[in-house]
Structure 1
Amino acid sequence: MAASVRGSLDLFRAFLREQDEPDACYSLLARHSVDQVEEYGGSVAGLTVVDVGGGSGYFTEEFRRRGAHAYLFEPDVREIGGKPPDGTVVADGYLLPLGDGVADVTFSSNVLEHVADPQTFLSELARVTRPGGLVFVSFTNWLSPWGGHEWAPWHYLGAERARARYRRRTGRAPKHTLGENLFAVHIGPTLRQVRARDDVTVVAARSRYWPFLAGTIVRIPGVRELATWNLLLVLRRCHR
């Protein structure tokens, strides 16, 4: 499903119904995401997986269904909800309560755009991953159609204008505020920073949802900021 047109269309339809059918939406996204992990790293059965910022645990549960020893670390108790996976830990992604190199796979879905210091966050993901292990990070870049999250696509006209429009339309305050819990992360600078690191190497940088031309789009400056939609970085922890 990770590489199919039908799978991508199913995801987009699910995203449109996210507010009304969150369980169906995030369960499908979790299956799609673990498919991608297995595409690059093989079966996750028997592997230790650390899910950082995984909210209420859809990804953790899907990893466990496939035989992984998966553990959720989430900083916001409001995101965890009432029925988190067993063993869930409330913890900041900047400072995980884990030893060095304990994970075969470290996974983080749509968290990078919510942290003020992405490079420190990536350093922590790399630290807890064993040498040779994989780090999967995906994020919604600011200039993508969904970059403004619930107030997209009006973020193209400015964050404050978009937030004000959301409040007028819905009668409630938006969940995200630029510079507080949402940050303008761009693909070009992120790729340059990651490639300059000495603790990881880049296995793949591709659109998370596009089933074709996924890697090609990311190589085109300017176009990638709009067309990638959501960037998937697959990183391998260096031996050092």
Structure 2
Amino acid sequence: MKDPSLRRSVTLFRAFLRERQEPERCYALLARDAADQVERHLPVNGKVVVDVGGGAGYFTEEFRRRGAQAFLFEPDLRELGARGAHGAKPPEGAVVADGYLLPVATGSADVTFSSNVLEHVADPQTFLSELVRVTRPGGLIYVAFTNWLSPWGGHEWAPWHYLGAERARARYERRTGTPAKHTLGVNLYKHHIGPTLRHVRAREDVTVVSARSRYWPFLAESVAKVPGVREFTTWNLLLILRRCP
């Protein structure tokens, strides 16, 4: 996969900064970008796509627009209904389901897709194993996540998480006067790039097609290769894996 353009990265970053004010625009743009990344490796028209933890369904809807049979599995009812305030409903057929135990037959998906979910699961290896299980041999697994030492690792209380999670969370609540959405060890976890890469590379049921920064506009694969440095510079790790026969 060639490096994305600087213009694309700037556009996504600007949308991210306006995520709270313009969620529809932000996530629709992100969904188109993610679907483009998948289609560089496998056209999705006519394919079965399983969207795990896809929230309000922006990714599922984008894959359906491209002709895929896409299905949304989301464990959090609040996330599933997040678009209600904007007059939109989640995709038809969305299922409330845990990513550790998907109600999906083994080997039934051509693409298993997970965007910014891994940092919210306590057991990433079990979660990844379930994504692999439901993917057919030769199919793709798309996993992107924000690692803990990324400038955005603390989510709404970043970048103050570098000074400690509890301190950062308390600062956010004092400054905004509202409870923080995320709590370390409850719905946000300290996952790192190095251990994640070592785990997927050691697996015998997948091969690594691509391991790169999801948003970085240049040297996107190179920044993910340098131990230590990659934990800060990658920002968001994108893994594209292929299920082995």
Could you say which TM-score interval applies, normalised by the shorter chain? over 0.9
Name the residue aligned to 1:195: 201
What pairs with 1:1-240 in structure 2 (closer than 5 Å)? Answer: 3-41=4-42, 43-81=43-81, 82=84, 83-239=89-245
Task: State the superposition RMSD in angstroms.
Answer: 1.1
205-214 vs 152-161, greater mean Cα deviation: 205-214
How far the C-alpha of 1:12 sits from its partner, in A, is 0.3
189-198 vs 52-61, greater mean Cα deviation: 189-198
How far the C-alpha of 1:40 sits from its partner, in A, is 2.1
> Which amino acid in the other structure matches residue 160 of structure 1?
E
Instruction: Report how many residues are paired.
Output: 238
1: CA distance between counterparts of 2:158 and 2:184?
Answer: 12
User: Is 2:224–2:234's contact at 8 Å kept on the other side of the alignment?
Assistant: yes
Task: Show CA shifts across 1:195-232 (max 9, x none).
Answer: 11111111110000113100000011111000000000
How far the C-alpha of 1:3 sits from its partner, in A, is 1.6
> Which amino acid in the other structure matches residue 198 of structure 2?
R
How far the C-alpha of 1:68 sits from its partner, in A, is 0.6
Q: Aligned with 1:218: secondary structure? A: coil
Q: 1:55 to 1:108 in 2, by over 3 A?
A: same
Q: Aligned with 1:67: secondary structure? A: coil
How far the C-alpha of 1:152 sits from its partner, in A, is 0.2
Task: Show CA shifts across 1:33-81 (max 9, x none).
Answer: 101001122x211110000000000000000111111000000010001
> Which amino acid in the other structure matches residue 45 of structure 1?
N
TM-score (norm 2): 0.95
> Which amino acid in the other structure matches residue 125 of structure 2?
Q
Percent identical pairs in the alignment equals 76
TM-score (norm 1): 0.97
Unaligned runs of 5+ residues in structure 2 are none
How far the C-alpha of 1:2 sits from its partner, in A, is 7.9
Unaligned runs of 5+ residues in structure 1 are none
Question: Where does structure 1 differ by over 6 angstroms across 4 or more consecutive aligned residues?
Answer: none
> Which amino acid in the other structure matches residue 126 of structure 2?
T
User: Is 2:211–2:224's contact at 8 Å kept on the other side of the alignment?
Assistant: yes
